[in-house]
Homo-oligomer: A and B are copies of this chain.
Amino acid sequence: MEGGEGPETASAAAECGHQPLTPNDVKDLLHSVDAFLFDCDGVIWRGDVLIDGVRDTLDMLRSMGKKLVFVTNNSTKSRRQYAKKFHSLGITVTEDEIFSSSFAAAMFLKVNDFPKEKKVYVIGGEGILDELELAGFVGLGGPEDGKKTVELEANCLFEHDKSVGAVVVGLDPYINYYKLQYGTLCIRENPGCLFIATNRDAVGHMTDLQEWPGAGCMVAAICGSTQREPIVVGKPSTFMMKFLLKKFNVSTSRMCMVGDRLDTDILFGQNAGCRTLLVLSGVTNLSTLEDSSNHIRPDYYTSKLSDIKKLVLE
């Protein structure tokens, strides 16, 4: 991306108020930023494949004393599972450096003193159930409801657990009518039941070759049947930021959020008061960024994370 765009693109970019990352920008960023926040899918990896040059770039940033934090909306894994994934790709990351939306859902319940005797119904993956358990909560649903079917006989009564006090909805490739009815009944009939969305991403790269419906699809389905709006704990909500600040003791003005999505990553960074860098190695391409319908403008953009290391050396 860097330097290869030609005058027309550079001019369009300038009109939009963002600019391709230059060696001077990188110098400035490295000088004024103490912590880099990274989205994972589309920035660090695509599916299960590490993006070219990521490992060396992260090593360089660590060697410069920068704090590295990984903030992902993907709720299918727990923090522990994420740390394992990083390790399998040859990158050392501790669980403490990972802030996933599955963890955010559990932390939301914790900071809001969700009663331990209440249960949490999960539409989503194992990662949410794991984080709930680690935080001391009882989850139900999740993958084990993926094969359940419903009986639509006239006199059949669909029973749900009256002690469910929260429904957490994340990405769920095993979504079915059983889960939709279960979550809907809890939210509608259990007094005070919370409706928490890990995130509302419309689509995600569930496979390398194409996008698939994201958590925003399942969350919208529950909105559609309950006529309720959820509390969103993942990006672009800044709910996670207070944990991050407590853990890392860095002001948000000295953070840079690096992501591949405008409406989650870049908006999250802007909402929190961070610098923002869009990488074009994920779901957003240059034409989307520069389209007149887009009003989310990162401070900088570049083709991929490793451009930071490349530009330092220029």
* Residue ID in chain B nearest A173 by CB atoms: B177
Q: Is the CB of B227 within 8 A of A202?
A: yes
Q: Is the CB of A173 within 8 A of B152?
A: yes
**A residues 195-220 touching B (CB-CB < 8 Å):** 200, 202-203, 206-210, 212-214, 216-220
Question: Which residues from B are CB-within-8-Å of A226?
Answer: 202
CB distance from A46 to the nearest CB of B (A): 9
Q: Does A111 touch B at the CB level, under 8 Å?
A: no
Whether A217 contacts B174 in the complex (CB less than 8 A), given A156-B207, A224-B202, comes out as no
* Residue ID in chain B nearest A159 by CB atoms: B210
A32 to B235 alpha-carbon distance, docked (Å): 57
Q: Is the CB of B224 within 8 A of A219?
A: yes
Q: Is the CB of B174 within 8 A of A175?
A: no
**A residues 217-241 touching B (CB-CB < 8 Å):** 217-227
Contact of A220 (CB < 8 Å), options: B49, B174, B214, B224: B224
Q: Is the CB of A214 within 8 A of B225?
A: yes
A10 to B184 alpha-carbon distance, docked (Å): 34
Question: Which residues from B are CB-within-8-Å of A206?
Answer: 152
Q: Is the CB of A158 within 8 A of B210?
A: yes
Whether A152 contacts B213 in the complex (CB less than 8 A), given A221-B220, A221-B224, comes out as no
Whether A213 contacts B207 in the complex (CB less than 8 A), given A175-B175, A175-B180, comes out as no
A214 to B184 alpha-carbon distance, docked (Å): 11
**A residues 134-166 touching B (CB-CB < 8 Å):** 150, 152-158
Q: Does A181 touch B at the CB level, under 8 Å?
A: yes
Q: Does A176 touch B at the CB level, under 8 Å?
A: yes
Q: Is the CB of B173 within 8 A of A175?
A: no
A184 to B173 alpha-carbon distance, docked (Å): 14
Q: Is the CB of B225 within 8 A of A180?
A: no
Q: Is the CB of B47 within 8 A of A154?
A: yes
Q: Does A52 touch B at the CB level, under 8 Å?
A: no
Question: Which residues from B are CB-within-8-Å of A216?
Answer: 224-225
Whether A157 contacts B210 in the complex (CB less than 8 A), given A176-B176, A202-B224, comes out as yes
CB distance from A13 to the nearest CB of B (A): 24
Q: A48-B154, A150-B212, A220-B224 are in contact. List 19 more A-B contacts (CB 8 A).
A: A150-B173, A152-B173, A157-B207, A157-B209, A158-B212, A175-B175, A175-B180, A177-B213, A180-B217, A181-B212, A181-B213, A184-B212, A185-B210, A200-B224, A213-B225, A216-B224, A219-B224, A220-B220, A221-B224
Interface residues, chain A, CB within 8 Å of chain B?
Answer: 47-49, 150, 152-158, 172-177, 180-181, 184-185, 200, 202-203, 206-210, 212-214, 216-227
| A-B residue pairs in contact (CB < 8 Å), sample of 16 | A150-B173, A150-B212, A152-B212, A156-B209, A157-B209, A176-B176, A185-B210, A200-B224, A202-B224, A217-B222, A218-B221, A218-B224, A220-B221, A220-B224, A220-B225, A221-B221
